[in-house]
């Protein structure tokens, strides 16, 4: 049996239109979105330097790295290049972004 494809919609804060990101499971993880940015958008994310924040466009709430994201969600991506991400991780007691 073929699995149903689901989608979320992502865009950078500076972009006007959302892009559809399709995946095979009912949920997508924060890490999968970061991997998508690196693979398809050719955006290099250095976990020890860059800070990436994902926001729910409808609720204006920030996703944490441990959060899963439901199909149909609209995600706004905010990138802060050169931010000392490892210090933020230690401060927020969050997990680091593993390699894709």
How far is it, in rounded angstroms, from Cα 84 to Cα 89?
9
How far is it, in rounded angstroms, from Cα 86 to Cα 51?
9
CATH topology of domain 6-92: Ubiquitin-like (UB roll) (3.10.20)
Q: What is the pLDDT of residues 49-78, one digit of tens each?
A: 667 889 999 998 999 888 889 889 999 998
Q: What is the pLDDT of residues 75-92, one digit of tens each?
A: 999 887 765 545 555 555
- 69 vs 99: which has the higher pLDDT: 69
What does the domain layout of the chain look like in residue ranges? Answer: 6-92
């Amino acid at each position: 049996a073929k699995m149903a494809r689901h989608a979320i919609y992502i865009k950078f804060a500076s972009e006007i239109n959302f892009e559809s990101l399709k995946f095979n499971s009912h949920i997508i993880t924060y890490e999968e979105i970061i991997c998508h940015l690196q693979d398809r958008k050719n955006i290099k994310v250095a976990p020890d330097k860059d800070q990436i924040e994902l926001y729910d466009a409808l609720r204006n709430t920030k996703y944490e790295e441990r959060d899963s994201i439901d199909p149909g969600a609209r995600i706004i991506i905010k990138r802060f290049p050169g931010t000392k991400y490892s210090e933020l991780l230690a401060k927020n007691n969050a997990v680091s972004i593993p390699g894709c």
